[in-house]
Amino acid sequence: MPSKRSICIALVLGTGLAYSATAKEPARDNYRTYCTQCHGKDGNGKGINVRDMSVQPRDHTDAKAMSGRSDDAIFKVIKEGGQSIDKSVLMPPWGDTFSDEEIRDLVAYLRQICKCTYGTSP
């Protein structure tokens, strides 16, 4: 019998990108390594770089705000940076650092942090 961790439910979105319903362990590690400086170790937007930033990072624990962003939009901002969705230039593009699969796993991890899905309000 497969482990709970190995079971993934793929959600197929309009663009054909599939996102795992559960984030993988490496996504949490990638988030902790690359994202916490700005978004905070708990994902609340209160990282150590905040005091020097003109635009505050997104609070990934804010279910109301995060449920307003599609998985595709979150994927795009991680891959191409904030400017790609008319947001802050301070959000760098990570497409040269992460594979598409790793970005999809980060999207799933963000959904775990916010405890939300696109289009649902708390």
pLDDT single digits (tens) 26-50: 999 999 999 999 999 999 999 999 9
Q: Which residue has the higher pLDDT, 80 or 12?
A: 80
Which residues, at least 6 apart from 56, have a Cβ–Cβ distance to it below 8 Å?
45, 50
Lowest-confidence segment of 20-34, 43-57, 60-74 by average pLDDT: 20-34
pTM exceeds 0.75, yes or no = yes
In the chain the domains, ranked by start, together with CATH numbers, are 4-114 (1.10.760.10)
- What are residue 88's phi and psi, to 5 degrees? -60, 140
Residue 40 backbone class (left: φ over 0; alpha: ψ -120 to 50; beta: rest): left
